Structure 1
Amino acid sequence: MTKESMMLPARTYSVSIDRDWRALYEEIWQPEYFTKWASGLAESDLRADGDGWLADGPEGPIRIRFTPHNDYGVMDHFVDADTGSEVHIPLRVVQNGDGAEVMLTLYRQPGMSDEKFAADAKWINGDLKALKALFTPQRGRNG
C-alpha cells in the first residue's frame, strides 16, 4: 500500500474575522469557548476529564482532546465518539492583513458517504459563521 492510498480526502473551510489574529486566538483557544460556537458542543457541558474533556455530542457521548495553548494559533482537537479511534480536526487562527482567518480542515473518514461528508461540510460552515457572528457588531433594523 502506498503512502498516498492511506491519505484521507480533505477540504478546508475558513472564515475571515475583523479582529487581530492573536487577540482572537487568545479569546477562543480555551476548550470552554467552543460551546459558544461549535454546534456539536453548544448544548453540552464540557467536563474536564484527565488530559481531555467529556461532552454530550449530537450522536452520544464524546471525548475531546485539545491542543495546548501555543504561539502559533493552532487549535487542533481530537474527537473520540466512543468508537475507539480519534478523529483529528485541524483548526488554525492565522493572520489575514489586520484581521484573522480561522481555518478548519475536514477529513473524509473511511466509509463516509458523500451525503455525510457534505452534511459535515455544511455543519462546519455553519459553525464558522456562528464564530464570526460572535465578533461582528450587530446593527439595528435602521442601521
Structure 2
Amino acid sequence: MLPARTYSVSIACDWRALYERIYRPEFFPEWASGLSDSELHEEGDQWLADGPEGPIRIRFTPHNAHGVMDHWVDVGGGSTVHIPLRVIQNDDGAEVMLTLFRQPGMDDEKFAADIKWINRDLLALKTLIERTAN
C-alpha cells in the first residue's frame, strides 16, 4: 500500500451546485495549476494535456450524484497516478477533499512539494468559487 494523505478546503457554496460547476474536465485548468498552462483536448475517454513534466493523459470519473471527481493521470512510461477527489456536504457549504498517494521512489522533498502544490490549488479553487459567487 502507498502512504496517503488527504487534504481539504471548505467552500461557501452548496455542495451539489459546486460539483455541477467544477466536475467537467474543462474546468480543471482554471484552478489546478498543473494544467493552467494547457488546454485539455478530449480523445475518446481520455483527455490530453501538457503537464509540468511533459504530455499527460487523464481519465476522469463520469458525472455522478455522489460528488466523486477521481481522475487517473498517465504520466508516461507505464505509470498512472490515481487522484481521488470528492465534493461533500459540509452543513450548507461544501468540503473538497483530495487524497495524495506517495508514489514509489518519491523522496521526502518531492512529497512535501506535492503537498504544498495540492493545498495551493485547493485554496485557488476556494478563492475562484467564493469570489465569483459574490
Matched ranges for 1:121-132 at <5 A: 121-132=115-126
- Deviation digits for residues 78-109 of structure 1, max 9, x if unmatched? 00111212110000000000000000000000
TM-score by length of 1: 0.90
Unpaired runs of 5+ in structure 1?
Answer: 1-6, 139-143
Moved over 2 A (4+): none
The percentage of aligned residue pairs carrying the same residue is 74
Larger Rg: 1
Unpaired runs of 5+ in structure 2?
Answer: none
- Report the equivalent of 1:97: 91
Q: What is the CA distance between 1:12 and its match in structure 2?
A: 0.3
Aligned pairs, number: 132
- Report the equivalent of 1:13: 7
Decide which structure has greater strand share: 2
**Is it true that 1:68 corresponds to 2:68 in the alignment?**
no
**Is it true that 1:118 corresponds to 2:112 in the alignment?**
yes
> Which amino acid in 2 is paired with 1:124?
I
> Which amino acid in 2 is paired with 1:74?
V
**Is it true that 1:40 corresponds to 2:34 in the alignment?**
yes
> Which amino acid in 1 is paired with 2:35?
L
Contact 2:13/2:130 (<8 A) preserved? no
